[in-house]
Structure 1
Amino acid sequence: MSNAKKLGLWTLVMLTFVPTFGFGNITTNAVALGPAAIPSWVLVSLLFFFPLSIMMAELASANQDKEGGIYTWIESVLGPKWAFIGTWSYFVANLFYLQMVFARIPVSTSWAIFGENRFNDQNAYLLPYLSVILAIILTYIATTGVKKFSKLADFGGKFTIAATVVFILFAFVGLLVGKPSATQFTVENTIPKFDTGYFATFSWLLFAVAGAEVAGTYIKDVDNPKKTFPKAVIIATVLIAIAYVIGSVAVCLVISPEALQEANLKNAGYVVYQTLAQNFGINGKIVVQIYAAILTITSIAAYIVWIESPIRAMFAEVPEGTFPKFLTEKDENGTLKKALWAQCALVIVMIIVPLLGLDSIDAFFRILTDLSSLSLVVPYIVLIAAYIVFRLKGKEAPFTFFKSNATAMIFSWIALILSIAGFFGAGLDYIMGSETTKEAAILIFKTYGGPVILIILGYVLVFFTRLANKNASKTQSM
């Protein structure tokens, strides 16, 4: 591949920024935490997101000749067993995330066309059917190769930045010209209450900053990866952290916590733009329609990256014989088409099996957020552990941010503790809020059961694949 076709610094920054940053993540956590989301973003950015991104950058630079991403990073330190655990958990998290993605697209499309969400609780039953159609269409697009969408992803990242900057500017301009803040900031509502309710959504904060690992699977396509990749990860990390913190302040200036909770998870990201426009005497419906239309189009590019990237991470460089051969077959462009369609089939099954129910569409989005979040925490726990071992063994990487092992250990252990807290915290609220033991058990199973079952399924798949390969070898030797 010539240098002209390689990915440059800012394209890589956008490929990291687009799948990671989402204005909806700001409003989702604002709905759950109110003004307390602001210091929460600061803590998560400084103590989890930035150190994790540095770990990825160092491990990626040490494996810059490989394309496996998170699998390669873990395997190079802890071996194939832990690499499988970490990467399969990442793949499982992506399955739940894709369910949420396919449900979000119709909602954003509705806002773009009608200026409101037509998928209320009465016709929420349509979302699974539309999600199945979208799963098939977007998977087909992903099989054609994600590189051709890098320009759209680049534009999407710039649009997301621009839309967020415009929102923040107008929010603060409104305050300067005399429009009172919609939220009264007090010590009581701003400082997080470290109770079960807080830790129940803490994993959402960790999930919201996930995404830096996506770019890792394209390190071989990067121009001068030794310098470009670490620099891109750090730039994207800083941009995302700043956007989340200042964006949360702006949201609180524009709309009250009570109004956000009334809008609920599925609508909050659009209602705040509508409210901001109306505060300045602009037609809020038209503004939110334009915003939703552009967001829908550009987000699809990011979702296509999310469809394909975990597949690369999972199946690209696993040892031969770990999975059935059809899952690891690549076409001439290196795309794992059969694995993509297998993923699509699994997601469709998860969509149509009515385990969660749709009695409340907001509850539906909440449980999917929980499932995606806690599943994604597992590979991060393994990745952080790999980095700790990497540093303790004294291994060197072309790019080393933490010059001192002591500093690296402090940040690593803090990030590890936060990850574990986020994982177990997802079920605390269900346990404490249940009236009966049976109700608590059902809710815990819904939260933890899906990811655990799918992780076990991965081991079963590997076991039978190796058994089949062993039997085939015996047959050939006879």
Structure 2
Amino acid sequence: ADFSKVSLVNAVLAGFKFMGDKIGLGIWFVKLMGIAYSLITLVALMLWGSSLAAGVFSEAPEGTFPEWLTKKDDKNGILKNALIFQTILAFLFIALTTFGGKAAGELYYRVYDMSTMALIIPYFCLGISYIAFRRKGHKSPFQIHKSNRLSICAGVIVVVMTLIALIFAGYNFSKPLAGQLSTIKLYYGGLIMFMLIGVAIKFFSGKKKK
């Protein structure tokens, strides 16, 4: 095999071609692996999409989103409307980055970078909640360990790790602060913006419910 033409784009295919030649299947091994990866990716996307819809729309407090988004299908309990809404948004983002030009692509990735810090906050809140629940004596049906002391230590470790991730994800101690101001504003400013949006949604949904 000619590995001089291997790049980051075709490295996986070149590896499959090499293995196919070794076991005597040649290009057919690449085709079989391509079909297998396509099926695996399709199943993964379906599971990821349904779990994301359930986590965002189904588990949110009542009244946070419109009822048609949180309504489950009568037959199998799937959030049909939420999945349709989610798919439309995904296609809109794909169309925006594909046909919107360089400026649209930069805007999309900027919003994406702004939202990355928000992924850390739920684990931080879960860690604190877990510590509080264990200190008050609340115990779930399934427990990894029955000792409150070890469980609280595990919760503290989660909280400390999320705090470290929150700090180091937006600030690099090996570089001067002046050269990182734009990155800090992007990451922490995006975090504050999305948290304020969440507070506003919670406020107006609670007001509407009352």
TM-score by length of 2: 0.69
Alignment of 1:43-442 (within 5 A): 263-264=7-8, 270=12, 273-274=15-16, 277=19, 280=22, 286-332=28-74, 333-351=76-94, 352=96, 354=104, 356=106, 374-429=117-172, 432=175, 437=179, 440-442=180-182
* Per-residue CA distance 1:306-364 (angstroms, 9 max, x = gap): 11112222332444323222222222132222222333344445442625269xxxxx7
Alignment correspondent of 1:76: none
- In 2, the alpha carbon distance for the partners of 1:291 and 1:311 equals 30
Task: Note if contact 1:274-1:288 (Cα within 8 Å) is conserved in structure 2.
Answer: yes
Alignment correspondent of 2:204: 464
Task: Note if contact 2:72-2:79 (Cα within 8 Å) is conserved in structure 1.
Answer: yes
Secondary structure of 2:82's counterpart equals: helix
Alignment of 1:16-31 (within 5 A): none
- In 1, the alpha carbon distance for the partners of 2:173 and 2:27 equals 37
- In 2, the alpha carbon distance for the partners of 1:374 and 1:288 equals 38
% identity of equivalent residues: 29
Specify whether residues 326 and 417 from structure 1 end up closer, same or farther in structure 2 by C-alpha distance, changes over 3 A only: same
Task: Note if contact 1:322-1:465 (Cα within 8 Å) is conserved in structure 2.
Answer: yes
Specify whether residues 465 and 373 from structure 1 end up closer, same or farther in structure 2 by C-alpha distance, changes over 3 A only: closer
Task: Note if contact 2:115-2:194 (Cα within 8 Å) is conserved in structure 1.
Answer: no
* Per-residue CA distance 1:120-176 (angstroms, 9 max, x = gap): xxxxxxxxxxxxxxxxxxxxxxxxxxxxxxxxxxxxxxxxxxxxxxxxxxxxxxxxx
Specify whether residues 304 and 395 from structure 1 end up closer, same or farther in structure 2 by C-alpha distance, changes over 3 A only: same
Secondary structure of 1:277's counterpart equals: helix
How far off is 1:371 after superposition? 6.6
How far off is 1:284 after superposition? 7.2
Alignment of 1:3-22 (within 5 A): none
Structure 1: gaps spanning 5 or more residues: 1-261, 359-363, 471-478
Stretches (4+) displaced over 6 A: 281-284
Amino acid at match of 2:56: M
- In 2, the alpha carbon distance for the partners of 1:402 and 1:459 equals 35
RMSD, matched Cα = 3.9
How far off is 1:283 after superposition? 7.2
TM-score by length of 1: 0.34
Amino acid at match of 1:396: K
Larger RCO (CA within 8 A; separation ≥ 6): 1
How many aligned positions are there?
A: 196
Alignment correspondent of 1:49: none
Q: Which structure would you say has the larger Rg?
A: 2
Specify whether residues 432 and 286 from structure 1 end up closer, same or farther in structure 2 by C-alpha distance, changes over 3 A only: farther
* Per-residue CA distance 1:207-244 (angstroms, 9 max, x = gap): xxxxxxxxxxxxxxxxxxxxxxxxxxxxxxxxxxxxxx
Specify whether residues 372 and 466 from structure 1 end up closer, same or farther in structure 2 by C-alpha distance, changes over 3 A only: closer
Specify whether residues 301 and 414 from structure 1 end up closer, same or farther in structure 2 by C-alpha distance, changes over 3 A only: same
How far off is 1:294 after superposition? 0.8
